[in-house]
Amino acid sequence: MQPESPMMAPGQTASTTLALAQNRVLRNTYWLLAISMVPTILGAWLGVQLKFALFPGHPAIAFMLFLGIAFGFFYGIEKTKNSGMGVALLLAFTFFMGLMLSRMLGVVLGLGNGWSLVSLAFGGTAVIFATMATIASTTKRNLSGLGKFLFVGVIMLLVAAFANIFLQIPGLMIAVSLIAIGIFSAFMLYDVNRIVTGGETNYVSATLALYLDVYNVFVNLLAILGITSGSND
């Protein structure tokens, strides 16, 4: 028996094990992301039927209440991400997000071409996700520096969205939605790349990040389509 080549043994075994682990996280993330769409659709359907409103009073209070509930879910999911409870909380969160989507969905579906707009927003989101995921999986560039820049962008979006509750400027709403699509598309790139490069090793956390990216791109695409279609009627 010939001795094992020193160039083949430790290094290749370690790199192969790492690659398998990263592929497993990515595969589990995609599966859980697909499953998470089921409670989202269920929540959206139920919300439309019940005309769900988180807080029927002032929208600013509803906005703050939404953020409080969402961050409560984030905390719980992060604390339990290594157990089945983390998956359960994630799916409960996606149901809640479906409920939150229902109000906009109801307005868009009330338009003459509502179903076409929803299909267009869904298709656009799928194309953006497929494009960003492909780039993230094949690029040789280090994308870790994007995180802080994108986080600042999200904070600015939240401030602008909150301000527009009082200003009610349609042009600002469209601008915020366009910027949000750009930011969360870049987040798709960043989050998939983190999984591929080993920066994220927990598929529950990875799914939560990608779910928020997909959800926000879809919602903002739907908002733009609804606003522009409604203004043309």
Q: Which of 4-13, 136-145, 178-187 has the lowest mean pLDDT?
A: 4-13
Q: Is the pLDDT of residue 19 over 90?
A: no
Which whole number is the average pLDDT over 59-77?
Answer: 95
Q: What angle do CA 76, 184, 125 make, to 5 degrees?
A: 105
Cα dihedral 117→120→121→123 (10° resolution): 160
Domain hosting 66: range is 10-232
Instruction: Give the model's confidence band at 229: pLDDT under 50 very low, under 70 low, under 90 confident, else very high.
Output: confident
**How many CB atoms lie under 10 A from the CB of residue 89?**
23
Residue with tokens 């409670």: 39
The first and second tokens of residue 144, run together, are 């870790």
**In this structure, are residues 117 and 227 in contact, taking their beta carbons and an 8 Å threshold?**
no
The answer to the question of residue 2 being in a domain is no
Taking the C-alpha atoms of residue 59 and residue 73, their distance in angstroms, rounded to an integer, is: 21
Taking the C-alpha atoms of residue 209 and residue 29, their distance in angstroms, rounded to an integer, is: 10
Position 145 scores a pLDDT of: 85
Which whole number is the average pLDDT over 171-190?
Answer: 94
The answer to the question of residue 223 being in a domain is yes
**In this structure, are residues 219 and 165 in contact, taking their beta carbons and an 8 Å threshold?**
no
Q: Is the pLDDT of residue 29 over 90?
A: yes
Position 232 scores a pLDDT of: 58
Instruction: Give the model's confidence band at 7: pLDDT under 50 very low, under 70 low, under 90 confident, else very high.
Output: very low
Instruction: Give the model's confidence band at 185: pLDDT under 50 very low, under 70 low, under 90 confident, else very high.
Output: very high
The answer to the question of residue 1 being in a domain is no
Taking the C-alpha atoms of residue 84 and residue 220, their distance in angstroms, rounded to an integer, is: 31
Q: What are phi and psi of 32, to 5 degrees?
A: -70, -35
Number of domain units in the chain: 1
Alpha-carbon distances of 142 from 183, 192, 195, rounded to whole Å: 18, 12, 12
Position 44 scores a pLDDT of: 96
Which whole number is the average pLDDT over 99-123?
Answer: 94
Instruction: Give the model's confidence band at 13: pLDDT under 50 very low, under 70 low, under 90 confident, else very high.
Output: low
Query: What's CA 166's distance to the chain center, in Å?
Result: 26
Q: Is the pLDDT of residue 208 over 50?
A: yes
The answer to the question of residue 4 being in a domain is no
Higher-confidence position of 109 and 4 = 109
The answer to the question of residue 149 being in a domain is yes
Q: Which of 124-133, 140-149, 205-214 has the lowest mean pLDDT?
A: 140-149
Averaged pLDDT of the chain: 90
**In this structure, are residues 184 and 217 in contact, taking their beta carbons and an 8 Å threshold?**
yes
Residue with tokens 């909150």: 162
